[in-house]
Amino acid sequence: MIPKKEKSHEEKHFEPKPYSNPYVTGFGLGIVLLAAFLIMGRGLGASGAVSTLVAVGVDKIAPEHAANNNFYKEYLGDGTTNPLKDWLLFEVLGVVAGGFISGSLAHRIKRTTEKGPNVSVKTRLIYAFVGGTIMGFGAKMARGCTSGLALTGGSLLSLGGWAFMFAVFGGGYAAAYFVRRQWL
């Protein structure tokens, strides 16, 4: 009688692949931006997709309010086409799907919270939520998100796009001094 091999219940462990070269990745992003200009006639951006979703939601709940509000009317259009067919929604869905596929291929998808040793997970999530909320309001006040202002505006040599990027990097470096102990 031949002995049966026991099945191993051990999980395969894959080492994460190294990060991509930032210069190659930046060049690829530039090609994607150029393709967006050539194919869609406009640059990249993400905050417009969120605004469209909010406008559609408000229109479903309170259509009279949405019809009388200039902000929502801008995203709802003239009523002849479905606002959910806006290409920015598909761009954002593509970013999410592409990020998941890229992370899967690089074996980098795991359930974890990136944080420094001196901060709790709860505090990190609160900071991330507050920072994201401030960035969201800032994107609407600036009439565009980081990708819209920095990538598209910068590529069009917009003074506002360049001023925004200098402010983002300057503000980031200035704030880093005050929060550095949480990451060290």
Amino acid present at 167: A
As a residue count, the chain comes to 184
Return left, alpha or beta for 118; rule: phi > 0 is left, psi -120 to 50 is alpha, else beta. alpha
pTM for the structure as a whole: 0.72
Dihedral (Cα; 87, 91, 94, 95), 10-degree rounding: -170
Q: Rounded distance, CA 103 to CA 97, Å?
A: 10
pLDDT at 7: 54
Query: Is the sign of the CA dihedral 90, 94, 96, 97 positive or negative?
Result: positive
Q: What is the largest CA-CA distance in the chain?
A: 83
Task: Look up residue 84 and give its DSSP letter.
Answer: G
Instruction: Give the CA count within 13 Å in the CB-facing half-sphere of 174.
Output: 6
Return d(Cα 103, Cα 125) in angstroms, integer.
Answer: 21
Q: Two tokens at 112?
A: 């974890």
pLDDT (tens, 9 = 90+) of the chain, 184 residues, equals 555 555 555 667 778 888 889 999 999 999 999 998 999 888 888 888 888 888 899 999 998 998 899 888 888 877 667 878 888 888 889 999 999 999 999 988 888 888 888 889 999 999 899 988 988 888 888 777 877 888 888 888 889 888 888 988 899 899 888 877 776 6
